Structure 1
Amino acid sequence: MRYILIVKGSRYSEASLKTSREHRDAMAAYNELLARAGVLLAAEGLQPSSSGMRITYPVHGGMPKVTVGPFTLEKELVAGFKMIEVKSEEEAIDWAMRMPNPSGFGDGEIELRLLSEDVNLLHVSPTMALEADLRDQIDMLKKS
């Protein structure tokens, strides 16, 4: 079972404030623990929403709209994530509970979510990438 531990944003992550050395060391030790246990699939932090964009889709038939950050309501933003693969929900909760407070300044929040295990989705991406590559090669041959 794959889970994602979504680290919620805060006014500190939105301001790009660095956490203390102790906090960074604790988070590095946590990541190392996950890796040594063989459950860590990915771990990434995100830039503040001021460097991001949102694409919103209106009612059926409308054109998508791009809105440039920053965005408000920090607790609705994502500051980073870790993806783990475990045997049970209880194990996922146990790993999430071991994470140091992700904000580093208090008032942190993690959202734990089970990833969809749709087998079709897992096989579509590589196939689509190969097909796109082949189309590009054919287009280049046509142009020459």
Structure 2
Amino acid sequence: MRVIVLVKATEDSEKGFLPTAWASEMLEAMGRFNDELRNAGILLAADGLKPSAYGKRIAFDGTGRTVIDGPFSETRELVAGFWLWEVKDMDEAVAWVQRCPNPMPGPSEIEIRPLFEAADLS
């Protein structure tokens, strides 16, 4: 089963990367965690996202399209980074996330969502 693991944004992540001692330690710990995922054959892709100020949204209404420039409000609804994993089941994905270093200073949240597979669509 493939899952996308979403690191939710925080006010800190929306400020952009700041080269602090905490950030350096977190990146090293995350690098080690990513190596563990890679060595276990689980990691398919991973990346961090720039703050929403660099993004755009396109709103659809019938045939109409409206471009909305970032930054976007509701920080807790934004994504700061992601992994794409191949796991046996959701329990395995949860177990891996529970081992993950905290990706943000202070409280943070990671969401796990299964991807649709071809078999789900038939």
Same fold (TM over 0.5): yes
* Consecutive unaligned residues in structure 1, runs of 5 or more: 122-144
Partner of 1:53: 56
* Inter-partner Cα distance in structure 1 for 2:59 and 2:118: 25
Structure-2 separation of matches of 1:68 and 1:14: 15
Deviations 1:93-140 (A, max 9, x none): 11111111121x111110100011026x9xxxxxxxxxxxxxxxxxxx
Q: CA deviation at 1:62?
A: 4.2
Q: Does 1:40 align with 2:43?
A: yes
Q: TM-score, normalised by structure 1?
A: 0.77
Structure 2 partner of 1:77: 78
Secondary structure of residue in 2 paired with 1:57: strand
What corresponds to 1:141 in structure 2? none
State the match for 1:124 in structure 2: none
More strand, by proportion: 2
Higher relative contact order structure (alpha carbons within 8 Å, sequence separation ≥ 6): 2
Q: What do residues 22-43 of structure 1 show as CA deviations (whole Å, max 9, x unaligned)?
A: 1111111100000000100000
Structure-2 separation of matches of 1:10 and 1:32 = 25
Residues 68-94 of structure 1: CA deviation (Å, up to 9, x unaligned): 001111110110100110111111111
- Secondary structure (helix, strand or coil) at the match of 2:64 reads coil
What is the deviation of 1:17?
3.4
Q: TM-score, normalised by structure 2?
A: 0.90
- Structure 1 residue 20: Cα displacement: 2.4
Match of 1:4 in 2: 4
Match of 2:114 in 1: 114
More helix per residue = 1
Partners of 1:45 and 1:30 in 2: CA distance: 14
One-letter code of the match for 2:43? L
Q: Which letter does structure 1 place at the counterpart of 2:88? A: K
Q: Which has the larger radius of gyration?
A: 1
Equivalent residue letter for 2:45: A
What letter matches 2:64 in structure 1? M
What residue number does 1:14 align with? Answer: 14
